[in-house]
Amino acid sequence: MSKTKQLTPEWEIKDRRYYLLQNAEPLTYTLGSRNSRRHSLLWFDPIKNEQRELRYATNMNSPFVDEQKGEAILGHIIFEDGVLAVPKENKIYKSYFHYTILEKDRYTKSGKLKR
């Protein structure tokens, strides 16, 4: 029997807040929600050993394009006053951030600002 590694992150179910770093607090700041030529949204999957395209679609259960079926409704990702509130009920939002934002050092969660 082979062991497989689970890609879905295990996290505590609670409301979260993400903050822009380096004192960047514009009135609004919008993140891209899909892969494009200007802004690459790819995540390297160590199990499949390949790059996987990400997309934030509000009507899908996965942030990975290859796991999404049918027409996708893209969501907006907007920081207001440098803060993005993610409600605990929005599992896909959290999953999308796990593979995009938390992989980069430009953002932090729950008030632990990096200076």
pLDDT at 1: 44
| pLDDT beyond 90 at 89 | no
24: pLDDT confidence band, cut at 50, 70 and 90?
A: low
Segment 43-47 mean pLDDT: 87
User: pTM, whole model, 2 decimals?
Assistant: 0.67
DSSP string, 28-62: EEEE--B--SSS--EEEETTTTEEEEBB-BTT-S-
